[in-house]
Structure 1
Amino acid sequence: MARRSITDIEKIWSNVEGIKKLSDRVIGIGPFGIGMDGLLTWVPVVGTVYTVGTGAWLVMQALRAKASPATLARMAAYMAVDTATGTVPIAGDVVDTFFPGQLLAAKALQKDIETTHWVEDTEAAARASGDHDRHLETVRNDKKLRRIVYLHD
């Protein structure tokens, strides 16, 4: 696997932002929004294919960004609910029109990215140079950070 950089993580965050808006916020009405997912849910098969496809793409981005297992599980749960509601005729379509599965999954990934201290190095090299302790201190001192991810591992 190719080594990741912080720029790669920023691109993932930006790409996920695009899917979030396209899927669930093309038309915004106050705190509610409808996007391609809500509109395509009324087209048999096409809506399910779109939901599953974008869900899989979001999970792939999460894997590329080395998201935590908890974030991956949360994203999978949102997408499972979104997919399941879309497969129920009429009543499920109504629910799926307004259930922002991709939006919730994308926000979970973006929060994971924002609460991670990214290091363009391997953990072994950081430990050998003594930088690992500095990274731990950074995470301890910044209340919004939860973990360290070494991008070259």
Structure 2
Amino acid sequence: MDETSRERAHRAWRNAERIKRLSDNLIKLGPWGLGIDGVLAWVPAAGTIYSVGAGALLLYEGVKAGAAPWTLTRMAAYLLANTAMTEAPIVGWAMDTLFRAHLMAANALQKDIVARHGPVGATVDAPYWRPVTRPVQ
């Protein structure tokens, strides 16, 4: 296994984690969560734009990670269903708020990455930034 492809796949795993948190898990409500996608579902054009953009980014990460075609197909199906719901006012918006497609697509991608490249290690999950420390004088 090429170390570069493993590194890229694990980066895709982390990006999928961020997208699912932002889209569907900013505020946890028991087993459910509410995120940007659920809130923007009630704003007609903004909800669709966000849903398509975040979904396209997830699919891009899946392609870059070398996900299986079946995984990419499942992800696309979840995301298309989510986007289609926003076309129906009120009922569709409510369904879109409750249907956590970005989370489901991200989970499918993450499972594929773990199966192909192994779990994301603690060293890979290190933060991208470090606080600046100045010597005590």
TM over 0.5: yes
2-structure distance, mates of 1:98, 1:37: 10
User: Counterparts of 1:41-52 in structure 2 under 5 Å?
Assistant: 41-52=41-52
- Larger-gyration structure (1/2): 1
* Structure (1/2) with the larger strand percentage: 1
2-structure distance, mates of 1:13, 1:76: 17
* Pairwise CA distance, 1:5: 3.1
CA-to-aligned-CA distance 1:11-62 (integer Å, 9 cap, x gap) = 1111110001000000101110110000001111010000000001100000
Q: Is the 8 A contact 2:24 2:37 kept in 1?
A: yes
1-structure distance, mates of 2:78, 2:5: 28
CA-to-aligned-CA distance 1:107-145 (integer Å, 9 cap, x gap) = 000000011147xxxxxxxxxxxxxxxxxxxxxxxxxxx
TM normalised by structure 1 equals 0.73
TM normalised by structure 2 equals 0.81
Moved over 3 A (4+): none
CA-to-aligned-CA distance 1:57-90 (integer Å, 9 cap, x gap) = 1000000011001000100000011001111111
Q: Which runs of 5+ in 1 are unaligned?
A: 119-153
- Aligned match of 1:6: 6
2-structure distance, mates of 1:117, 1:37: 29
Q: Size of the alignment, in residue pairs?
A: 116
SS in structure 2 at match of 1:14? helix
User: Counterparts of 1:89-100 in structure 2 under 5 Å?
Assistant: 89-100=89-100
- Aligned match of 1:29: 29
SS in structure 2 at match of 1:79? helix
Q: Which runs of 5+ in 2 are unaligned?
A: 119-137
Indicate yes or no: 2:36 matched with 1:74: no
